[in-house]
Structure 1
Amino acid sequence: MSEALRIDVISDVVCPWCVIGYGRLKHALNKFDNQIVVDIHWHLFELNPNMAIEGENLRSHLAAKYGTTLEGSIKARAMLTEEGKKVGFSFNYFDEMKMLNTHDCHQLILWASSTERQTALVEALFEQYFTAQGEFDHTALISIAEKVGLDKTEAKRILEQQAFSEEVKEIESQWHQQGIHGVPLFIFNGERALSGAQDVATFERAIQQYLN
């Protein structure tokens, strides 16, 4: 009989280490295919909640926020691209890439939490930003929602009315109050948390603890 395992993932869709960490988690889960039934829940975290809607050049943003140099940026992008390949994800960085505001993305992710399409939505948003070189305007987000099987009319209403905006802010505030200031964070059965893009072996050891 398979064990049930709930994994809560706190992340932002413009976070490359969230992509890599999730990819490594999936690789680890493959080892236990016939032993566990996994239930993944995604939670909201904006790395840059005050980012302008039009976004900001990614290199300029990282230089201002972290002091990243051009040389450092080039090396980091090459390293992230290689790590992405290892987990089957394609990072497609380009010179004019922007850091984007993700508030609307999180409104849709929160809405999708009541469906079985939440993970598909998050994966599509990762791909929109990092692989397709796309942005998060309402037209793009509605199209992504429809592509993963969500109701495009309801997605349009949510975005136009900012229906979940205050709830997103409240949830994110709760994470900050709990001392969570960075992502990704992976929580297993509400008990054990792993912070950051851990290696596959570390995820495997965490999962093994929940098997009889």
Structure 2
Amino acid sequence: MAEVAGVLVEIWSDIVCPWCYIGKRRLETALGTFEHAGDVEIVWRSFQLDPSIPRGTAEPVYDALAKKFGGSKQQVKAMTAQVAQLAEAEGLHYDFDHAVSMNTFDAHRLIHLAKTHGLGAAAHERLMRACLIEGATLDTPTLVRLGAEIGVPAAAAERVLAGDDHTADVEADIRQARAYGATGVPFFVLNQAYGVSGAQPAEVFLQALRTASEAAPAR
């Protein structure tokens, strides 16, 4: 009997993106019922929802969204409340009242550093939780602390964040997303052939995993 073909799932995501965290949980739900989940490799890719935000600044998310979409703070609160309700269904307890909008480039550089220690997925999860659930502002000391929590050496994180290490890696991820035609996140690509855009229901991810697995050459 031929071995089951593996599935590479590349995920473009921004750690301040509430839909990205929801999509992550829905993919994990799909993997929980996928027959060949042990043959799936997940790679997190960088993306910035708003690269125009100056690095080193932070603004309450309600204010930032009101400016971006031209609505009132009350309208923004109603919109985010709907997202928070969907997140609750996935076990995520968002706190938009304390969430801040910030430039995430350095956070993505930290995630690439974490990848070199085999901790890319753990870093992505930890930073999303910090942003969306804990209301953290991801300045350099906070990034170093959160990295250390999951096993990234603090000295390495401080060195990377003080310079420009992994800048090229983040930029390469963003270029690849654009080459695929992605204009927003989350954006999932399976075996570099099948794309899934948005936080789709778990059933959609499950079908995509099965399709990619069946189409891939057996090893």
Normalised by the length of structure 2, the TM-score is 0.87
**Is 1:70 the counterpart of 2:69 in the alignment?**
no
- Is the partner of 1:40 in helix, strand or coil? strand
- What amino acid maps onto 1:15 in structure 2? C
Structure 1 regions of 5+ residues with no counterpart? Answer: none
Q: C-alpha separation between the residues in 2 aligned to 1:25 and 1:135?
A: 27
Query: Kindly tell me: are residues 33 and 137 of structure 1, through their superposed partners in 2, closer, same or farther at Cα, counting changes over 3 Å?
Result: farther
- Is the partner of 2:6 in helix, strand or coil? strand
String of CA shifts for 1:51-95, please: whole Å, max 9, x gaps: 12222232222122222333332222222222112212221121x
- What amino acid maps onto 1:11 in structure 2? S
**Any conservation in 2 of the 1:41–1:113 contact (CA below 8 Å)?**
no
**Any conservation in 1 of the 2:31–2:206 contact (CA below 8 Å)?**
yes
Which of these residues, 6, 23, 26, is aligned with residue 24 of structure 1?
26
Which residue of the partner structure matches residue 180 of structure 1? 182
Which residue of the partner structure matches residue 201 of structure 1? 203
Q: C-alpha separation between the residues in 2 aligned to 1:103 and 1:154?
A: 17
- Is the partner of 2:152 in helix, strand or coil? coil
Which residue of the partner structure matches residue 217 of structure 2? none
Which residue of the partner structure matches residue 91 of structure 1? 94
**Any conservation in 2 of the 1:109–1:122 contact (CA below 8 Å)?**
yes
- Is the partner of 2:50 in helix, strand or coil? coil
**Any conservation in 2 of the 1:2–1:36 contact (CA below 8 Å)?**
no
Q: C-alpha separation between the residues in 2 aligned to 1:185 and 1:160?
A: 30
Structure 2 regions of 5+ residues with no counterpart? Answer: 215-219
**Is 1:159 the counterpart of 2:172 in the alignment?**
no
- What amino acid maps onto 2:92 in structure 1? F
- Is the partner of 2:8 in helix, strand or coil? strand
Q: C-alpha separation between the residues in 1 aligned to 2:171 and 2:202?
A: 32
Normalised by the length of structure 1, the TM-score is 0.90
Q: How many residues align?
A: 211
Q: C-alpha separation between the residues in 2 aligned to 1:26 and 1:41?
A: 13
String of CA shifts for 1:75-124, please: whole Å, max 9, x gaps: 22222222112212221121x53211111101111222333210110000
Query: Kindly tell me: are residues 167 and 119 of structure 1, through their superposed partners in 2, closer, same or farther at Cα, counting changes over 3 Å?
Result: closer
Which residue of the partner structure matches residue 82 of structure 1? 85
- What amino acid maps onto 2:31 in structure 1? L
- Is the partner of 1:42 in helix, strand or coil? strand
